[in-house]
Amino acid sequence: MNNNSAKIVGNVKYKQKDIEFWTKDEFQKVIQKTSKTTYTQRLDFIILWFMFMTGMRSGEAKALTWRDIDLKAKTVNINKTLIYKSANDYEFHKTKTKDGTRVISIDQQTADFLEEWYEDQRLMVHSKFVLSLDGVPLNNNYINAIVHDYGELTGVPTITAHGLRHSHASLLISMGENALIVRDRLGHADVRTTLDVYGLLYPKSDAEAAKRLEGLLDVPPE
């Protein structure tokens, strides 16, 4: 994608109907407000970073166990979602759609942050859950509260935990990734779903398409 197209996507407002998200610049402000000074602050950081960089649904993220993470291969196996009732009463369910069961790749920086969090967490508590403060799954409000509080602290638009999923999609689109890549990472049933939700974020430039067609084919001499 050329710079102009990336700029167009970057300028799309979070006020799009039914889509609330943080742009890369807004998330940069948020993550700068986090800290790794305390154990709880480190969890706040990894929740915000990990969900922004993967686009996982909240239930998928809460269900994620360390067995689902391969730090060497830099992959995350998303194969379930978690229904939370209480700290001692929760259930694992299948992902929202068949295609929601997926393996996605993560970048080296995210893998390093996860490894750092794993070491921090095991010094405090034995937990099979990746995103856990005390060994049990996060409650239904935990992630939403963190996203809301850091948004307010930073002065960026207020979004929900699901807004981090939209933010990841927006980031991919601004990087020039096509709808198939976005679909696969988010686990949509088909690309139509992806385009229905995020189609307005894709830059539309008929003039640029025409320029790319010019001189594409050889013609016989006159």
Q: Calculate what percentage of the chain has a pLDDT beyond 90.
A: 73
C-alpha span between 120 and 114 (Å, rounded)? 10
Strand ranges of the sheet holding 69-70, from the earlier edge strand across to the other edge: 69-70, 75-78, 102-105
- pLDDT at position 3 is 45
Cβ atoms of 52 and 59 closer than 8 Å = no
Across residues 9-27, what is the average pLDDT? 68
Q: What is the mean pLDDT of the chain?
A: 89
Task: Provide the whole-model pTM.
Answer: 0.84
Across residues 167-188, what is the average pLDDT? 93
- pLDDT at position 17 is 53
Residue 110: Cβ within 10 Å count: 19
- pLDDT at position 19 is 85
pLDDT (tens digit, 9 = 90+) per residue, 147-160? 999 999 999 999 99
Residue 187: Cβ within 10 Å count: 21
Range 23-165 has CATH code 1.10.443.10: yes
- pLDDT at position 221 is 82
Confidence of residue 51 (pLDDT cuts 50, 70, 90): very high
Beta-bridge partners for 89: 86
Confidence of residue 203 (pLDDT cuts 50, 70, 90): confident
Is residue 199 scored above 90 in pLDDT? no
pLDDT (tens digit, 9 = 90+) per residue, 69-90? 999 999 999 999 999 999 999 9
C-alpha span between 132 and 123 (Å, rounded)? 13
Across residues 178-202, what is the average pLDDT? 90
Confidence of residue 201 (pLDDT cuts 50, 70, 90): confident
Q: Where are the beta strands (DSSP E) in the chain?
A: 69-70, 75-78, 81-86, 89-93, 102-105
Three-state SS at 179 = helix
Query: Shortest CA distance to 169 belongs to which of 17, 33, 54, 34?
Result: 54
Residue ranges of the domains in the chain? 23-165
